[in-house]
């Protein structure tokens, strides 16, 4: 993390344990790095063990603590086993960031059952599985932060992304419901809706499409993964203690 970014937001998460899904690349990796550099021990979760190791190594190189937990985030039994291992290793869970997600873009007449099921399962079922598994430890401690990464596509829809938009809208509904269910245990649950963020996913769009996207965004640029990570840090900190059931949109004014 650059000095410029470090000055933008600083929080102390020392003594806390965080778990981030989709931590092997893009927004998830940026979030894991930010949490690690803020003092939290970070459980890095994704399918790709090699990429996860790169994330954990970067956290360690910056003086933080991280461990990797390769996992199919859609597999209920695997998720339960993962949480047992995390709690055995680190005894607690304070911050859960549900970030794992995929796209299978195509117009609805051409969308296959597999296109639909893969996206809904990865983007929405995984949030349910990780929230259900992690929430008990937080409720026992009477403290926790759950931060779900949704999308502006879940707020306004996006042509060619019926599956993705549906999954991300579902994440918002799940977030708001769980926030109400567990507020009495001092566990907050919030969602972040990124707009167009500069990641491998948007890189694949190519320069011409990116230029068109920038024209639609009032701030005339793509967002940065670190800007999403900064929002996560705020919600995970003591400053975010009175924020729950909310949807924070970071989109450069796209949905304004």
Domain ranges across the chain: 3-250
Strand 65-70: give its sheet, edge to edge: 65-70, 41-46, 17-21, 95-98, 144-149, 187-194, 247-250
Residue 210 is predicted with a pLDDT of 85
pLDDT of residue 213: 86
The segments of the chain whose pLDDT lies below 50 read 1-7
Quick check: is 69 catalytic? no
Q: What is the pLDDT of residue 108?
A: 97
Query: What sign does the CA torsion over 219, 145, 200, 121 have?
Result: negative
Fold classified for 3-250:
Rossmann fold (3.40.50)
Active-site pick, 69, 143, 164, 242? 164
Q: Beta-carbon neighbour count of residue 55 at 10 Å?
A: 26
41 vs 44: CA distance, rounded Å: 10
| Residue of 86, 96, 163 lying closest to 128 (CA atoms) | 96
46 bridge partner residues? 70
| Both structure tokens of 82 | 């993962």
């Amino acid at each position: 993390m650059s000095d410029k970014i470090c000055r933008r937001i600083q929080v102390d998460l020392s003594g806390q344990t965080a778990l981030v899904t989709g931590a092997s690349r893009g927004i998830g990796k940026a979030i894991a790095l930010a949490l690690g550099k803020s003092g939290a021990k970070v459980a890095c979760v994704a399918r790709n063990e090699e990429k996860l190791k790169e994330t954990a190594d970067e956290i360690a190189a910056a003086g933080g603590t991280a461990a990797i937990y390769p996992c199919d985030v859609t597999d209920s039994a695997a998720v339960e086993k993962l949480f047992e291992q995390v709690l055995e290793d680190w005894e607690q869970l304070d911050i859960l960031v549900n970030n794992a997600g995929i796209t299978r873009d195509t117009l609805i007449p051409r969308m296959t059952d597999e296109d639909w099921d893969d996206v809904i399962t990865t983007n929405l079922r995984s949030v349910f599985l990780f929230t259900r598994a992690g929430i008990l430890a937080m409720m026992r401690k009477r403290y926790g932060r759950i931060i779900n990464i949704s999308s502006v596509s879940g707020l306004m829809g996006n042509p060619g992304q019926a599956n993705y938009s549906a999954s991300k809208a579902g994440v918002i509904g799940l977030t708001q419901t769980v926030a109400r269910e567990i507020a009495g245990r001092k566990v907050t649950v919030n969602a972040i809706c990124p707009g167009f963020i500069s990641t491998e996913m948007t890189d694949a769009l190519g320069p011409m499409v990116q230029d068109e996207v920038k024209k639609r965004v009032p701030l005339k640029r793509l967002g940065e993964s670190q800007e999403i990570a900064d929002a996560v840090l705020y919600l995970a900190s003591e400053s975010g203690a009175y924020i729950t059931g909310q949807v924070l949109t970071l989109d450069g004014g796209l949905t304004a």
